[in-house]
Structure 1
Amino acid sequence: MSRTTRADSPMDESPSMLSQCRGKVGSTITSRLEKLAIELPDAHLRQRASLTLHAAQRLEDYPVALNHGDLIPSNILVDQNTWEITGLVDWAEAEYLPFGTCLYALEYLLGYLTPAIPDLPPVWTYFDGATQLRELFWTHLIEAVPEVGARAEDVKVIRDVGVLLWHGIAWDDGAINRVVNEVDDMEEMTKLRAFLTVG
């Protein structure tokens, strides 16, 4: 058994994945998903939050890893000549979370948001080839981390946890305790729906 706590700490014989997440977000994954399952503005999203919570709770021996916490395009440094990723900035929200929680970021790289204008809601648009690029990402991830291949469906569950947490909970000047709604959070609702449609 790999040790995730200090040697002199009381040991739970089989610590659950979620119990190993003790940061600001990690320690509240269950309660936030429960809140989303009750308060999201439509029945489909509420059901998706509930199903995702139950699927995450059933995962056994799932890895917990350091996650960036704010993995968006503006925090990814790219060499303008080679298009290679050269670094990640803004690690202020980093914490230990289930592996794949920040895979919501993949969707940011595959499309763009057109903000709302009078009489038209915001729209998420995927670039041509987004489906192929997503498949290529998963192929390369599995090649780089072969263990992911056997647990691809589990990783996708945790990716959905990340989508729900980052787009279902509003970011109100650092406060992260309010569920998004159709009036105040149209852009987040648009991304939430779009990102949960794929996977």
Structure 2
Amino acid sequence: MPFVIYNLANSISTFFFEAGSSTSREECDAFVRERYGHDISIQPAPIQGVSSYTVFVGNDKVVQFREHTSLLDIPLLNLVREIHGEDTIVPRCVEIGWIGGLGVYEMTKLSGEALVMVRSSLDGCQRERAVWKRFFAQSWLKSEAATLTSGFDISTLRSTAKEECDRRLEYLSQTLPARLQPFVTEIQTTFSYPIVLTHADLNETNTLLSPSTGSLSGILDWAGASFLPFGFSLYALENFLGGWMGQKGWTWLPHSEQLRNIFWETFCTQTGLEDVRLIKLAAKAGILIRYGIAWDARFEGMIGVRDPNLGGGDEYRSLDALLFSNRGETTE
């Protein structure tokens, strides 16, 4: 796996510089001490988000300061907790105030370490436990019933999801190179997917695993979550099974195909589904949106990560690898 340098201090400084001079890190830390006591331990989270500053308070609390453009939707978070189980992999969250232009939230502290920190050290059994089988099965089985009991209008959500998907697919039809257009056309002509509450940026820094067992212990940062067709966030599975671009293309972990098969077999067993062709087609749509939409395209909800500044065709390498490759077992 390539060596990636992450500088915590620089990440925090960047956030406060971009958040504006009305609020500083010192003011945020003072807010925490004033609320929880001047003697309490305050430590910055080891990995910070782009739109937030997060600190651990004592042994069991997290306080997060978020930009006004990336606030948390508490009713949606409560729905996520209902779908996936309270106090298991989704933290309890309450808004506790504002400081300057930043919204402030208190959350329960979940156990585990970020996937990006532990993935390379997982053995085969741990990797098998970590492939999100239960998480996606819960989304399939519980989303519609939980959404209805929470007072959301399913028909309105479906209509909105269809409109959002149409906008994204139209964008892709106008921006992707010709070799990728057949995938867009295939998805546009087959739109019949159940909708679920979908994480906007399900990645290696937002996913917590138990270092000892590999079991999923937390999904963080639900800002921007929206209702989209089930399967759109399955790009996360491919990220886990590979997840970085080397000189020879997308690099897969050892036994990635075996782990992928285990995921689908377990998913079908837990959900009772026998035909997952539409779900796999929706997964293609998610890959297209994730890696085909530029990060600055300003779509709400699920985030695109394509870097339009790469040029020379490099900005589409991830799509070529994930949509055209035979998913070999290459490692570097």
The bucket for the TM-score relative to the shorter chain is: 0.7 to 0.9
Q: Give, in angstroms, the shift of residue 143 of structure 1.
A: 1.2
Q: Give, in angstroms, the shift of residue 49 of structure 1.
A: 1.0
Secondary structure of 2:243's counterpart equals: strand
Match of 1:168 in 2: 292
Secondary structure of 1:142's counterpart equals: helix
TM-score calculated relative to the size of structure 2: 0.46
Q: Give, in angstroms, the shift of residue 113 of structure 1.
A: 1.6
* Partner amino acid, structure 2, of 1:33: L
**Residues 179/112 of structure 1: CA separation in 2 closer, same or farther (3 Å cut):** closer
* Partner amino acid, structure 2, of 1:96: F
Residues 8-56 of structure 1 show CA distances to partners (whole Å, capped at 9, x for unaligned) of: x8x9xxx5985152xxxx6421122122123202x22012111122122
Secondary structure of 1:72's counterpart equals: coil
**Structure 2: where are the runs of 5+ without partners?**
1-144, 328-332
Give the percent of matched residue pairs that are identical in Structure 1 and Structure 2. 31
Q: Name the CA distance, whole Å, in 1 between partners of 2:283 and 2:181.
A: 17
Q: Name the CA distance, whole Å, in 2 between partners of 1:48 and 1:160.
A: 8
Q: Is the 8 A contact 1:35 1:179 kept in 2?
A: no
**Residues 131/16 of structure 1: CA separation in 2 closer, same or farther (3 Å cut):** farther
Match of 2:270 in 1: 144
Residues 123-152 of structure 1 show CA distances to partners (whole Å, capped at 9, x for unaligned) of: 2111221111111110111111113x23x0
**Residues 76/6 of structure 1: CA separation in 2 closer, same or farther (3 Å cut):** closer
Structure with more relative contact order (C-alpha pairs < 8 Å, separation 6 or more): 1
Cα RMSD (Å) of the superposition? 3.4
Residues 136-181 of structure 1 show CA distances to partners (whole Å, capped at 9, x for unaligned) of: 110111111113x23x001011111111111110112x73499957
Moved over 3 A (4+): 2-7, 15-18, 176-183, 185-188
Q: How does 1:1-199 map to 2 (within 5 A)?
A: 18-21=158-161, 27-41=163-177, 43-56=178-191, 59=192, 62-114=193-245, 123-147=249-273, 149-150=274-275, 152-172=276-296, 175-176=298-299, 184=310, 188-197=315-324
Aligned residues: 176
Residues 53-76 of structure 1 show CA distances to partners (whole Å, capped at 9, x for unaligned) of: 2122xx2xx321111121112111
Q: Which protein is bigger by CA-based radius of gyration?
A: 2
* Partner amino acid, structure 2, of 1:89: L
